Structure 1
Amino acid sequence: MKPKAVYIHVPFCEQICHYCDFNKFFLEKQPVDEYLQLCVEEMKHTVKNTPPDEIASVYVGGGTPTSLTTSQLQLLLEGIKAYFPLRTSCEWTVEVNPGSAGREKLEMMRSQGVNRLSIGAQTFDPGLLHAIGRDHQAEDVEKTVRMARGAGFENISIDLMFGLPGQTMEQFKDTLQRVMALSVEHVSAYSLKIEPKTVFYHLWKKGSLLLPEEDTEVEMYEELCSHLKKTGFIQYEISNFAKMGRQSRHNLTYWNNEEYYGIGAGAHSYLSGIRRMNHGPLPKYMESIRKCGLPYREEHRVTVQEKMEEEMFMGLRRLSGVSYATFSQKFGITINEVFPGVVEQLMKKNLLEDTGAAVRLTKNGLLLGNDVFEQFLLS
């Protein structure tokens, strides 16, 4: 099947967050206009090599896409429409940093066809925002949501983090209450991970990063699940919650182990059974596009064994789990034949459960997902 999803990476930020390990650069003095033109050039060469079907989801992430000027962002959005045929029902998401998108920019995005926003709130506590290196205030989130509604957006997601340095349960509960007051359609919430080459990593190595106890982090996750369930959200993935019918189609592409296009510096793609990673540094990315139109740094043809492994540890992130029938249809062999005894062993540990049609994580399994996923590595 042809890919039906597109990811576009905008690597520019006006502030570098202390936890972020994504491919990003300070916006000031960067060759932004040339970068955007070369992104569009990459689109042209990519679809020539792998012609698209109708696209069901587009996700413009970063970095901070809304750090671009209105005209710069419009150029990028128009390029996407020029090379990727979008379904009438296409879910088109742009990541928004609170306070970085005014009414003009929001109205332009909506007029171009963008119909979903992912707003990076992370927390509503002023002290925690400062501690993690965010450059917005809590009220900026509320203002951005109001302006987005005024511009016609009916599908808004809020990104949250928990397990932040010095974060208490009271602070996290307050954040959840403030998110619910916004009446958004989707919430993504991830625990802080200390990644190499970040400010937090260096502080952690020096022993000067005060993190909540593991038990507190677990309590925060349980509070998240409980609170959102009470307020009408459906948990459909370990870290994602949506109102009915508002699940992220784009993220489901990854969890369903489907192929997708990836455009931009440091972007990943999965096309025709090959996973590729683009050059990350801007000079290398831009030079590669100028020379041959494509910026691939690495590529790997995925083996059948790897596809089966990915089917399990990506699919088990969904609360619906991995369908026995779908697995057999894809690979011509059953889950239990490929992974003999693994499901049974994990069921005995109360980490997996069998619904008859699928295998899925239990409540305990949601807390220990990585431990479960490791059991489905064949080598």
Structure 2
Amino acid sequence: MPSLYIHIPFCLSKCPYCSFVSHAGMNELHQRYVNALLREAKELCRNHPDAPLTTLFLGGGTPTIFSGEALATIITGCAGLFGLEHDAEISIEANPRTIDAAKLLLLRASGVNRLSIGVQSFQDQELRLLGRPHSAEDAAHALRLAKDAGFTNISLDLMYGLPGQTPDSWRNTLERAISLEPTHLSLYELTIEQGTPYYQQQEQGLLQLPDDEAVADMDQLTATLCREAGLVHYEISNYARPGFECRHNINYWQNGPYLALGAGAVACMNGCRRQKINDPLRYCERIESGQSVIMEEECLEPAASFRETVVMGLRMLCGVSRENLQSRYGLDVEGYYEETLVRLINQGMLELTARHLRLTARGRMFANQVMAELV
């Protein structure tokens, strides 16, 4: 059964590293956007009656910039239209400055059972450099509020490789995060994306990032501290207590089908990927006038889809299932990649078993280069 992603493209402020479809302010558009989402959901449900949903994920932007009532309207509206499996995972991303006890209780009552809090750092100086509107204490307080509201599945997003960051400051952030006992950590190395203020600063020589050795030390610290805390490394950037892996994202990494609602959202069904228009005002206008909001569509031929599934699946530490590839495409990695696969195995980058192809520990250090050879 499909998953559903809902994009909320609004936030308190635009962070200098962010390349996602998000807009600061535009408060006057919020209720109109909620109405447009529900209208699009009704149309989407008519075209995809094969629900119920196994996962529902509200991302952004900052979904919790909306009121609790507005979010409850979206969630319960979609649940009523599509239906939900009895154990469906319902996730929402949150900024520590946009949640309080009352909003969290409303989210729980509307069915949300997984909370992803965008902390990024527990060092106030790093948070200021990142343009984040919250403090380290705000983040810790948000997690305590979430637990008090009854959330038992809580993920924290953190970033490393930040301007001015050292292995010691990363250790402090990670130890503080672990001490709060989340069930999941998403730990992303900062990537400088073209078109962002950070990209401009880097081009001007104004952005001082940690060197490769320091980042490698941070990676080692991450592996050690998470292992000691009982957080299992299950995807390149994600760690979880057993049973708390993000099911919505696993479906994405396995190149499974997912529906999508909202400006800038991307859906993938029946081998075709469709992206909605980015501008939230134009999105509302087109929904209201009954026009299509699809901005771009790409349908991969089977061999290209096979390669994409392999590359995305290699992000999982368990790797990609050879049986699933054979069932889905009638292809096997050994016969398809031939000499390239042999070379990468001999270089210690990949491991091939009877059931899976996976990155080795060495291969994860060079994951981008390995995947570039397979795509």
The answer on whether the counterparts of 2:40 and 2:261 sit within 8 Å (CA) in structure 1 is yes
Structure 2: distance between partners of 1:249 and 1:168: 32
The answer on whether the counterparts of 1:234 and 1:241 sit within 8 Å (CA) in structure 2 is yes
Residue 93 of structure 1: CA displacement? Answer: 0.5
Structure 2: distance between partners of 1:161 and 1:203: 19
Structure 2: distance between partners of 1:318 and 1:259: 17
Moved more, 366-375 or 126-135: 366-375
- 1:38-57 equivalences under 5 Å are 38-57=36-55
Structure 2: distance between partners of 1:164 and 1:30: 34
Q: Which residue of 2 aligns with 1:203?
A: 201
* Secondary structure in 1 matching 2:125: helix
Q: Which residue of 2 aligns with 1:167?
A: 165
Residue 28 of structure 1: CA displacement? Answer: 4.2
Report the number of matched residues: 375
Unpaired runs of 5+ residues, structure 2, are none
Residue 371 of structure 1: CA displacement? Answer: 0.7
Distance 1:244 1:354, change over 3 A: same
Q: Which residue of 1 aligns with 2:267?
A: 269
Identity %: 35
| TM norm structure 2 | 0.97
The answer on whether the counterparts of 1:42 and 1:293 sit within 8 Å (CA) in structure 2 is no
| Paired residue type of 2:66 | L
Q: Which residue of 1 aligns with 2:105?
A: 107
Q: Which residue of 1 aligns with 2:227?
A: 229
Q: CA RMSD in A?
A: 1.2
* Secondary structure in 1 matching 2:317: coil
Residue 309 of structure 1: CA displacement? Answer: 0.7
| Paired residue type of 1:162 | Y
The answer on whether the counterparts of 1:11 and 1:62 sit within 8 Å (CA) in structure 2 is yes
Residue 283 of structure 1: CA displacement? Answer: 2.6
Q: Which residue of 2 aligns with 1:140?
A: 138
Q: Which residue of 2 aligns with 1:127?
A: 125
The answer on whether the counterparts of 1:91 and 1:249 sit within 8 Å (CA) in structure 2 is yes
Structure 2: distance between partners of 1:225 and 1:361: 16
Residue 364 of structure 1: CA displacement? Answer: 1.1
Residue 348 of structure 1: CA displacement? Answer: 1.0
- 1:1-379 equivalences under 5 Å are 3-292=1-290, 294-377=292-375
Residue 292 of structure 1: CA displacement? Answer: 2.5
Structure 1: distance between partners of 2:290 and 2:299: 21
| Paired residue type of 1:76 | I
* Secondary structure in 1 matching 2:96: coil
The answer on whether the counterparts of 1:353 and 1:361 sit within 8 Å (CA) in structure 2 is yes
Unpaired runs of 5+ residues, structure 1, are none
* Secondary structure in 2 matching 1:104: helix
Distance 1:145 1:29, change over 3 A: closer
The answer on whether the counterparts of 1:336 and 1:342 sit within 8 Å (CA) in structure 2 is no
